[in-house]
Amino acid sequence: MHSDAMEHHRYMQLAFADAREACAAGNRPVAAVIVRDGEIIATGRNTIYADHDPSAHAEVAAIRVACRKFETLDLSGATLYSTLEPCPMCLWLILEAKIERLVLGARHAALKRLDTGDYSVETFLALTRRPLELVTGVLEQQCTDLRLQWMREQATKR
């Protein structure tokens, strides 16, 4: 495995472990890790149900931690790892924080979600004409399986 691929795998494994913990706490199984200069500068996990906050997404939480930690709105040079393709709100925040690379696990299309329509990171970037390096396929099957398992569990709770 190439060194970049190994690094991506290692950081996504950490995000995946956090996503499992978010799920165990009754939230959506999504987590994010932000890395800059080979160092983890922030992590976040989905807490929407625990916090009764529809904006408490993993990427938002991680970006808030990193920006507070460095007292800046500029996270240039950073890579954000997310176990699930970010929603438009989170992707806009990633762009506004000047994060330069996004590494993804699960994709909405693979989950066959009807509520996301034609949305993807790529369609959003094309619409906004904003630059962002995108790496896909990192622990994709594990992240997809975790989300599908959660979706099945939610369906049986209704």
Q: What is the model's pLDDT at position 71?
A: 98
Annotated catalytic residues are: 59
Predicted confidence (pLDDT) per residue in 19-43, tens digit? 999 999 989 999 999 999 999 999 9
pLDDT for the residue numbered 158: 65
Contact present, 87 and 121 (Cβ < 8 Å): no
Mean per-residue pLDDT for 148-154? Answer: 87
